[in-house]
Amino acid sequence: MIQASSDDYWTFKDKLLKMWVPAVGVQTAAGLCTRNFEKFFAEEISCVMPDFLDREMIKEIFELYVFKQDLESSFDTQPPFQLNEAILTGSLTEGLFLYTAEPPDVDFMCELKNIMFSKDDQESGCLLLRDDTPFVYAFITNKETQHLWREFFDDVNKEEGVHRLSSRKLKEKLQENYQKSGRTIFPFYDNKQLEEVAEGAALTVFNSKTASSVIHYPIVLMKTFLFEPLAKTLEFLHNDWDPDPFFSRKLISFDIVLSIFCEGWPFCAKEWIIRERLWPDIHSVEKIKQGGFHIIPKSSPDGDFRLSFSCAETTLIKTLTPLQLKVMRAFKAVVKYYQNTWSENLKEIISSYHLKTIAFWHFEKSSQESWTEETLVHHLVTLLEELAEALRMQYLPMYFMPKFNLLQDVDDPELMLDLMERISQLSHNFTAMSEAVDNYTTRV
């Protein structure tokens, strides 16, 4: 346990306790922003939203302007390449986004219609996994489905009658449809560059206009209206509130992640279901198990698709207590704030997914009783220490598939050790951590 004796410690602890935690788990962007509106009024202003800010009106504004991305136009109206459902994933829906000059990550996991892998399909070997990796090949054995998706089969074994789905052809189809819709991908990705979009995405869509946070602007408007003289509010609206140009630039970029739904739970991740743990509870584990999973097109040397546990991760985050969510956001803020100020070589070594994995492992082995206001700083320091240890060992097991090391592709051990030493020092510097929390989590 940390020896709480310095003023810096108490100041930092107070900042953590006062941190606002956004809504978690809403799967539509407009619904999530609406929920955050309500949450802000309830928790920060201690009142319900005024009548003139009707909930449905706010939701409609977000749907029409902020998140009107017309995802369906990137898919066909006839089988097979149709959109079944667009699910919001990433830091926005997880409540882990940070207040920065750029908007939070916005990922739309677009589930394909007319195709899925049942439990029987998986038992018959339709998803061929390389041992101890999350990479798979997807084979189609159903005759009707084969006919429907025949233009998307890989060419390598076609003559041998092997019907393996091609992730590249799916991504190329999405790109082709997006361009046909009259919009341009910026920058343009040719076939070679198609592999270089954001991690896990089939397409990254850029808006060339400058953007600001979709959360930041509405809160500025509310605070101006509630706490400033009427004249200043009118000036703010006159100068800044032009709905079409304002909202059209809110989403500077978003990722379209193609996905295929799979029933049940992958056999390669069965260990997660049965292992002993303190978190999550058995009911949450069963809910995740029954909820299924997805595979996403992600070409790699190991396979054509990658297992995706995004929905399971969102469900896990929804089970966290407010104190745990505050620590998780602060952990991300501290690491990202200083990683961005250190040398360029250190800037991108640790991803948000690495940090989330560290947090999940820590939550799993810590009892709920250990999470109190008095232990908040201790848990955050422990997360930093566990990250430093993972960097030192160059070993971070994937949470759902621990045999897969997320740091196995490290190509510069010296850089990793440099980052490890910096994070280790940071874990004892409450003033530095306070600065990061101030800049990335409490600024609105």
CATH of the domain at 254: 3.30.460.90
- Give the residue, 195 or 232, on which the prediction is more confident: 232
User: Are residue 326 and residue 304 in the same domain, yes or no?
Assistant: no
pLDDT at 212: 43
Domain end position, chosen among 293, 319, 345:
319
Contacts of residue 336, Cβ cutoff 8 Å, sequence gap at least 6:
98, 352, 436, 440
- Give the residue, 41 or 230, on which the prediction is more confident: 41
pLDDT class of 107 with cuts at 50, 70, 90: confident
Taking alpha carbons only, the member of 409, 163, 189 closest to residue 304 is 163
User: Are residue 370 and residue 430 in the same domain, yes or no?
Assistant: yes
Work out the number of other CB atoms within 10 angstroms of the CB of residue 118.
14
Please give the average per-residue pLDDT across 20-43, as a whole number: 79
User: Are residue 153 and residue 285 in the same domain, yes or no?
Assistant: yes
What range does the domain containing 219 cover?
64-234+246-319
User: Are residue 312 and residue 328 in the same domain, yes or no?
Assistant: no
Show the tokens assigned to 337: 């704030």
User: Are residue 135 and residue 256 in the same domain, yes or no?
Assistant: yes
pLDDT at 22: 86
In the DSSP assignment, the letter for residue 51 is T
H-run or E-run covering 323: helix 322-339
The rounded distance, in Å, linking the Cα atoms of 10 and 360 is 26
Query: Is the model's pLDDT at 430 over the cut of 80?
Result: yes
Number of domains in the chain: 2
User: Is 274 inside any structural domain?
Assistant: yes
The rounded distance, in Å, linking the Cα atoms of 377 and 421 is 20
pLDDT at 46: 61
H-run or E-run covering 300: strand 293-300
Contacts of residue 123, Cβ cutoff 8 Å, sequence gap at least 6:
none
Query: Is the model's pLDDT at 59 over the cut of 80?
Result: no
Query: Is the model's pLDDT at 115 over the cut of 90?
Result: yes
In the DSSP assignment, the letter for residue 195 is G
pLDDT at 193: 42
Burial of residue 125 (CB within 10 Å: 0-12, 13-18, 19+) is: exposed
User: Are residue 83 and residue 97 in the same domain, yes or no?
Assistant: yes
Query: Is the model's pLDDT at 32 over the cut of 70?
Result: yes
Taking alpha carbons only, the member of 354, 371, 362, 331 closest to residue 96 is 331
Q: What is the mean pLDDT of the chain?
A: 81
The CATH number of the domain holding residue 386 is 1.10.1410.40
Please give the average per-residue pLDDT across 228-256, as a whole number: 51
H-run or E-run covering 137: strand 135-138
User: Is 29 inside any structural domain?
Assistant: no
User: Are residue 420 and residue 293 in the same domain, yes or no?
Assistant: no
User: pLDDT tens digits, residue range 60-103?
Assistant: 666 655 555 568 888 999 999 999 998 988 888 898 888 775 55
pLDDT at 247: 36
Q: 405 and 390 in contact (C-beta within 8 Å)?
A: no
User: Are residue 275 and residue 357 in the same domain, yes or no?
Assistant: no
User: Is 229 inside any structural domain?
Assistant: yes
Domain end position, chosen among 264, 293, 319:
319
pLDDT at 92: 81
Query: Is the model's pLDDT at 232 over the cut of 60?
Result: no
User: Is 368 inside any structural domain?
Assistant: yes
User: Is 377 inside any structural domain?
Assistant: yes
pLDDT at 211: 40
User: Is 421 inside any structural domain?
Assistant: yes
> Any idea which residue has 């108490």 for tokens?
10
User: Are residue 313 and residue 425 in the same domain, yes or no?
Assistant: no
User: Are residue 159 and residue 134 in the same domain, yes or no?
Assistant: yes
User: Is 53 inside any structural domain?
Assistant: no
User: Are residue 226 and residue 332 in the same domain, yes or no?
Assistant: no
Domain end position, chosen among 294, 319, 344:
319
* Pair type for strands 107-112 and 253-262: parallel
The rounded distance, in Å, linking the Cα atoms of 214 and 97 is 11
| C-alpha 276 chain-centroid distance | 26
Strands (E), 218-252: none
pLDDT at 122: 93
pLDDT class of 443 with cuts at 50, 70, 90: very low
Query: Is the model's pLDDT at 214 over the cut of 50?
Result: no
User: Are residue 163 and residue 229 in the same domain, yes or no?
Assistant: yes
Taking alpha carbons only, the member of 173, 205, 177, 240 closest to residue 68 is 205
Q: 131 and 298 in contact (C-beta within 8 Å)?
A: no
User: pTM for the complete prediction?
Assistant: 0.85
